[in-house]
Structure 1
Amino acid sequence: MPATILHVTSLFGGGVDRHLRDIARAVPGRHLVWHVGDKAEVIETPGQRFATMDPHRINENPKALAAALRAERVSIVHLHSSHPRPRARALEAAKALGVKRIVTLHDVLFLRPDAFDVEADAPPNAEWLAGTTAELRDAAAVLAPSEFMAAKARQHIPDLEVAVVPNGSAPPVDGKAEARAEFLAHRPRHVVAVLGAIGPHKGSELLEELPAHLEGTDIGVVVIGYLDRQLFPGWRVPGRLFVHGAYDDAQTGALLRAYGAQLVLFPNRVEESFSYALSDAWAAGLPVLAAPLGALAERVRHCACGWLLQPGFDAHEVATRLRHLFAHTGPSGLAEVESALSRPDPSRIPALDDMARSLDAFYRRFAIDPAAPEAADGEALQRLLAANLDGSIFRQELVRLADEYAQVKAALDGERARTETFERESREWMAKLERDIEGLKGELEGEVAQRRDLGQQIVQLQIHKDAFDLLPEFVRKLLLKKILDARN
C-alpha cells in the first residue's frame, strides 16, 4: 500500500470539499479525508468508500485510532479547517503517528469563530486567535490560496511563514445544461447571475432588496444555486429574481450560457480567501461585478476583468451600477472586458496541475516514510466504527433536509391556498356571469318585442298615409288645418 495523505476537515465544507476532491484527483499518492463534526465523524477514501466513526469510541480508545491510521500508512496530516474539533483531531492524529501537520487557511475563521457574522473589519477574538496561532506556529507549513489570505495571517500572527498555493481549476468541460422553463417563459433582456449557496455572508439580504431597485428596467437576476431562504427552484420575485437550485460545479459554464448570463455578481459581505465561483465565471468568459473585499478584490484588480463596488455598497448602488454597465458602450463596457477575457492569462484562473505540483512538493518535503502496518491493525478501525446510524450521525443533514421540506411544504401550502382562492373566486365570477347573461337575455327579449310592435305600428301608419294621399287636395288641406288647430 502506498503512503497516504490524511486530510482533516469539517462536515459540509462547500468550496473546501471541492478543493479536497481536486487534490485527491490530481495530487499523486493515496488520500484519506476525515470529516469531523460535533456528533459525527466519517473517514472517506475519495471515490471508494466511507467509514462512519463513533466519536466516543475514538476518545476512549486513542490507541485504536493510532493503529487504524498506521494501517492506512498515513505519512502526513493536512488540516483544512479552523473549527476546534477538526483542529483537535488533526493534532491527535499527528501526535499518535509521529508525523507532521500542514495547514491550509481556507477562510478568515482563524481570526474569530463568528467571522462570517460580523463586518469584514471586525477585530479578532483575542482568546480564539491565541489558540489558532499556537497551532499554526506548530505546523510544518501554513498555506493560503491567495496573497490576500497570506497577508491577513501575517498581519495578525507576526513572523508566521505562509506560502501561497492558489486553488487550481481543471479546464472547463463543454457540457450541456438547460435553464428552467419558468425562467425562459419570462426571461428579462439582461441577465445577471449569482453563483453558489448564498447566505448572509455572501449577500442574501442584498439580493432580497435588489429587485425593488431594478423595477422599470429590463434586468433580472438568476441565482445558479440557492438562497438561505429559498432552496427550491422558481421565481423569488417574478421577472426580477429567479432561483435555479442546486447544481454540479462542472455544469457552471453550461448553465451560465443556458440562462443567457451577461455578468456575474458577487455581493459578498465577508472576505473570500479565493473564490472558485470567480474562476468559474471567468472560465465562462463573463465579466464580474464584485464586492471590494478580500481575494475577490485582489483578483479583479489584478486581472482587470470586472468592476468593484464601493465600500459599504447597498442594493441601490448595485442596481445603479448594473443599469450603467448594460447601457454603457465606452472603453469600460461589457464587450471590452469580454474581449480581455478571451485572451489567455494563466494567472487569471490557476491551473489544477500547477496546484497539484505545489502541494505534492510540500507533501514530499514533510511526509515520513510510514512503516508497514501490523497485521492486526485492520481490526482497529472496526473498533472505532459507529455501532448504528442513528439520527445524531446525520444531525446537520437532517436539519438541512427538514428546512428544505419546510420550505417546499410552505410553498405548496401557499400554492394550494392560492388555487383554492382562485377556484372560489372563479365560481363566484361564473355564477355572476350566468346571472348577468340571464338578465341580458330578458332585456334582449323585451327589446325584440318592442321593436316588433314598433314595426307593426310603422306598417299601419304607412297604410294610413297611403289612404290620406288618395284624398282630394282641398280635403287634405282641411284635415291638416284641423290637426294644427287642435294642437294649438
Structure 2
Amino acid sequence: MAGHNPMLYDLPVALGCPYTVHIHDYMWFCQRISLMGLKDRYCGEPDVAGCEACIALLGRKIEEDVPVAFYRTRAAQFLKTAQTVYAPSQDAAERMQKQYSGLTCHVWRLEDDAALCAEGEARLQAAFPVPEERVPGVAVMGAGRGERVRVCVIGGIGKEKGYDVLLGAARDAALRDLPLEFVIVGHTPDDEALVRTGHVFITGEYQEDEAIPLIASLQADYAFLPSVWPETWCFTLGLAWKAGLKVVAFDLGAPAERIRATKQGILIEADLLEESLNDVLLQLGRIGALKA
C-alpha cells in the first residue's frame, strides 16, 4: 500500500468489514517493491538481515522508515486476516507463500493467454498479411537494413523493465556492427542514449488503441521482454501475442510461467552479458525459431 498512510492497515478492523487483497507487486515484503538489488538486478529474496543490508545501501522506495522485521510482521497480520488473497500468477502466489508461512494465495489470472495467442494468430492470417518485401524501418533503421534481425520491445522500459540490458545490448550491437536492431514501441528514461547507438528506434508513447496496429506494422522477427525482476503478470507480453509475435524473455517471474504454458516464446538465462545476449537474439532471428 505504498503511497498511503500506514493507518490504512487498521481501517478494515475499524470499520468492521471483510476485505480481499490483490497482489500487484512485492511491496508486501520488499521495501524496494520489485525485488531489485545490487547492479539493478533481481535480489534473490534474502532473509531479513539481507534486506536490511540492501536498503542501507540502495535505499527504500516507500515513504515509511521502519525496520524490515516490523514491516513484514504488520503485512503478515494484514494478509492473515484478509478474506481472500489473490495473485495474478502461480509464480507470484508461490513467492508470497514462501515469505509468509501458512498464507493461502489464490491465482486469479488477469488475461486469457490462450485467447490472446489465438487472436494474434488470426491477425496474422487476416488483418496483417505479410507483404512480399518487408516494410523498411523508420528513422535510422530504414537505411541499409538488409538482413538485420528486428526485435520489438514494448512499453515503458525503465530499470526494472530492463533499460540497462537494452542499452548494453544496443551498444554491443554497434561495437560489433551486428545485423541486429531494436524497435521500442513505447519510451525509456533516456531515449537519446539508445538512439545514438544506431541500432534502436523508439516510437514514443502510444494510445491503447494504437498498440496492436503499431506493433504489427513494424514487422519484427519477434518481441523481447528484457525485464529483470520477477514480474507478477506483464500486460506487454499479452500485447506482443495479440500482435502475432512470439516472445523471448528471461526465465523469471510470471512471463516465464506464461510462455512455458503457451509455448509461444523462448526463455533465456537471466544473467547473460550483453555479448552473449546479442548472440542468442541473432541466432533466434536467423534460424526463424520464433516465426509463427
The question of a shared fold, defined as TM-score above 0.5 by the shorter chain, is answered with yes
| Counterpart residue type for residue 187 of structure 2 | Y
Tell whether the 8 Å contact from 1:180 to 1:244 is kept in structure 2 after alignment.
no
When residues 90 and 249 of structure 1 are mapped into structure 2, their CA distance, relative to the original with a 3 A threshold, is farther
Q: Deviations over 1:259-315 (max 9, x none)?
A: 122211111111100111111111222111101111121112222221112141221
Structure-2 residue corresponding to 1:107: 25
Structure-2 residue corresponding to 1:292: 251
Indicate yes or no: 2:141 matched with 1:223. no
Structure-2 residue corresponding to 1:252: 211
Tell whether the 8 Å contact from 2:223 to 2:245 is kept in structure 1 after alignment.
yes
SS in 2 for 1:214: helix
Tell whether the 8 Å contact from 1:104 to 1:144 is kept in structure 2 after alignment.
yes
Deviation at 1:99, TM superposition (A): 2.1
Deviation at 1:227, TM superposition (A): 0.8
When residues 235 and 288 of structure 1 are mapped into structure 2, their CA distance, relative to the original with a 3 A threshold, is same
C-alpha separation in 2, matches of 1:87 and 1:163: 25
When residues 113 and 187 of structure 1 are mapped into structure 2, their CA distance, relative to the original with a 3 A threshold, is farther
Tell whether the 8 Å contact from 2:136 to 2:142 is kept in structure 1 after alignment.
no
C-alpha separation in 1, matches of 2:196 and 2:204: 15
SS in 2 for 1:191: strand
Structure-1 residue corresponding to 2:143: 186
SS in 2 for 1:201: coil
**Correspondent of 2:2 among 71, 83, 90:** 83
When residues 301 and 187 of structure 1 are mapped into structure 2, their CA distance, relative to the original with a 3 A threshold, is farther
* RMSD between aligned residues: 2.9
Count of residues in correspondence between the two structures: 248
**Correspondent of 2:290 among 331, 334, 346:** 334
Deviation at 1:148, TM superposition (A): 0.5
Structure having greater relative contact order (Cα 8 Å, sep ≥ 6): 2
Structure 1 segment 103-182 matched on structure 2, within 5 A: 103-116=21-34, 117-118=36-37, 119-123=42-46, 125=51, 126-127=68-69, 128-168=71-111, 181-182=138-139
Bigger fraction of residues in helix: 1
Q: Deviations over 1:323-374 (max 9, x none)?
A: 1112215xxx123xx2xxxxxxxxxxxxxxxxxxxxxxxxxxxxxxxxxxxx
C-alpha separation in 1, matches of 2:104 and 2:203: 42
| Counterpart residue type for residue 236 of structure 2 | A
| Counterpart residue type for residue 155 of structure 1 | K
When residues 235 and 326 of structure 1 are mapped into structure 2, their CA distance, relative to the original with a 3 A threshold, is same
Give identity over the alignment, percent: 23
Deviation at 1:180, TM superposition (A): 8.7
Indicate yes or no: 2:172 matched with 1:213. yes
| Counterpart residue type for residue 306 of structure 1 | G
Could you tell me which runs of 5 or more consecutive residues in structure 1 were left unpaired when the two chains were aligned: 1-81, 339-488
Q: Deviations over 1:122-168 (max 9, x none)?
A: 32544222221111111111000000011111111111111100012
C-alpha separation in 1, matches of 2:269 and 2:203: 28
C-alpha separation in 1, matches of 2:83 and 2:166: 42
When residues 207 and 110 of structure 1 are mapped into structure 2, their CA distance, relative to the original with a 3 A threshold, is same
When residues 180 and 220 of structure 1 are mapped into structure 2, their CA distance, relative to the original with a 3 A threshold, is closer
C-alpha separation in 1, matches of 2:82 and 2:203: 41
| Counterpart residue type for residue 110 of structure 1 | W
C-alpha separation in 1, matches of 2:161 and 2:207: 19
C-alpha separation in 1, matches of 2:22 and 2:90: 13
Deviation at 1:197, TM superposition (A): 1.0
- Which shows bigger deviation, 118-127 or 274-283? 118-127
When residues 245 and 187 of structure 1 are mapped into structure 2, their CA distance, relative to the original with a 3 A threshold, is farther
